[in-house]
Amino acid sequence: MGQDQTKQQIEKGLHLYQSNQTKKALRVWMRVLEKSADPAGRFRVLGCLITAHAEMGRYKDMLKFAVVQIDTARELEDPDFLTESYLNLARSNEKLCEFQKTISYCKTCLNMQGTTVSLQLNGQVSLSMGNAFLGLSIFQKALECFEKA
């Protein structure tokens, strides 16, 4: 599957998802994931799958796709993709109440300063970290993170 076809299929899945046809959208995205040779397209479709599974409350599946997305980001050797994928990994672990892991992945995101995406995602990273500290009952650090967010 070429880049253009991958992009079209991702958009088709997004349209289906926005039309509340979640199962059809997931099938389209899974097909893209299986057939696409374009790493950037695979990264994007993994992001769609992560978001969809998060919204459905399927956090273990969310985590599974986040791990694959990290591998894809490493393959692309792009710090922006890597930052975004670590945030998705942190969010997945947050939803699964793995708060120590969440904090660790959030710190990894924050240490990737200087990338274009990292500046845009800092608020989201701080929010996830704050939620993790809250889950661990470390209220002062949670408050600090929420203020940064």
- Which domains are assigned to the chain? 1-77 (1.25.40), 79-148 (1.25.40.10)
Residue in this structure with the two tokens 């969809």, named with its chain if needed: 52
Three-state SS sequence of 23-91: HHHHHHHHHHHHHCCCHHHHHHHHHHHHHHHHHHCCHHHHHHHHHHHHHHHHHHCCHHHHHHHHHHHHH
Residue in this structure with the two tokens 């650090």, named with its chain if needed: 141
- What per-residue string of b and e applies to 58-80 under the rule 16 or more CB within 10 Å gives b? ebebbbebbebbbebbeebebbb
- In this prediction, residues 55-62 reach a mean pLDDT of 96
61 pLDDT above the threshold of 80: yes
- In this prediction, residues 29-41 reach a mean pLDDT of 93
pTM: 0.91
Residue in this structure with the two tokens 């985590």, named with its chain if needed: 63
pLDDT digits (tens, 9 = 90+) for 95-137: 999 999 999 999 998 888 666 666 778 899 999 999 999 999 9
Cβ count near 23 (within 10 Å): 9
CA distance 54 to 65: 11
The average confidence (pLDDT) of the chain is 92
pLDDT at 107: 94
Residue 2, amino acid: G
pLDDT at 33: 93
Percent of the chain whose predicted confidence (pLDDT) is above 70: 95
- In this prediction, residues 37-41 reach a mean pLDDT of 91
The SS3 call for residue 112 is: coil
pLDDT at 116: 67
Note the residue count of the chain.
Answer: 149
- In this prediction, residues 128-148 reach a mean pLDDT of 96
pLDDT at 110: 87
* 6, 36 contact by CB (below 8 A): yes
- In this prediction, residues 64-69 reach a mean pLDDT of 97
